[in-house]
Every structure is written in C-alpha cells, then in structure tokens.
Amino acid sequence: MIALEKWFEKKFAFDIKPEKFSEIVERIRGTPARIEERVKNLTNEQLKTQIDNQWSIQENIGHLLDLEPLWIGRLEDILSGELEVMRPADLSNTKTHEANHNESDLKNLLAEFREVRFDFVSSLENLKADQIEISLLHPRLQKPMRIIDLAYFVAEHDDHHLAMITKIINSTK
C-alpha cells in the first residue's frame, strides 16, 4: 500500500482563486456523507481496529468531530478583525486521545458530526464575496490564511482522514 503523507508535513500555498470557494464548500459539505458511505457495511471490529498504533476508523471520525469547534472558532477569529493570530490547534490532539471514541455509538458519532459540520457549512455559505479573502496569521504555518484557505485546509484535513479510513478498511479485509 502507498504510504500517506503525514498531516503536519503537508505544505499549503494559500493561493486559491476566490472562484473556487463554492467547490471547496461542497467538498466540506460532502464529508459526512462520504464517511457514512465508507463505514456503512463495516463490522465493529473493523471500525475499532488500530493499525501501526494509529487511530481506528471510529477514532478518525471522532477526531473530525473534535476539530469542528476549531474550524468555526478560526472562522470567527478571522471575521472578528480583532486578532493578530488565529487560535491554535492542540497539536497533541488531547481531546481525541481522551474521548475514547471507540466506545461511542457510531450512529451518534456520525449524526453529531453531520450536525456540527452543517453548522460550519452554513456559516461559510452566509459569507459575502469580499469576506472570503479576509485573512489572519495561522499560528503553526506562520502565514496568512484567508477564509477560502481555511475552507481548503478543512477539506484537505477531511480528505486526509478519509484516506486513513480507506487504508484501515483495505488492511482489515
């Protein structure tokens, strides 16, 4: 199997044209459905299997849910116009490690993720055209991140975890 790039090693240019915003939002909107489709026929064992001491499928899903407050918070940070740097992520992912997502009910996890994700999508869709280019410094990357870049970053993060889920599925067949 082809190795996946580590999330913290990814590079981002943040040079996306504003005309791409709607397409990026559609990627973000579709993540809950894509996850549900990937996991609908899996066994509990497949959902909770950890490979190479990495998160299980269910933990990857829980991680996406855990980060939704960060995404909406960063959007609020950018829109506020009051900060020099957006809120940082917890790079150790403490919330995910402590949440014990493997003990959660998968249906509830998926429903909660769908609900909070649609709140984020709704916030993005309610922006005015000139707002998507407002920026704020990203704390880890140390470069300005516009709202369109934030949306792209979220979509890429989603796809990274969907690829991890697929890797686990393929390893547990």
Tell me if 2 is assigned to some domain: no
Tell me if 72 is assigned to some domain: yes
Quick check: 147 and 133 in contact, CB under 8 A? yes
Query: How many distinct structural domains can be found in the chain?
Result: 1
Tell me if 119 is assigned to some domain: yes
Per-residue pLDDT of the chain (173 residues; tens, 9 = 90+): 567 788 878 888 899 999 999 999 999 999 999 999 999 999 999 999 998 889 999 999 999 999 999 999 999 999 999 999 999 999 999 999 999 999 999 999 999 999 999 999 999 999 999 999 999 999 999 999 999 999 999 999 999 999 999 999 999 87
pTM: 0.95
Tokens of 9: 């090693």
Q: Which domain holds residue 138?
A: 17-89+98-171
Tell me if 12 is assigned to some domain: no
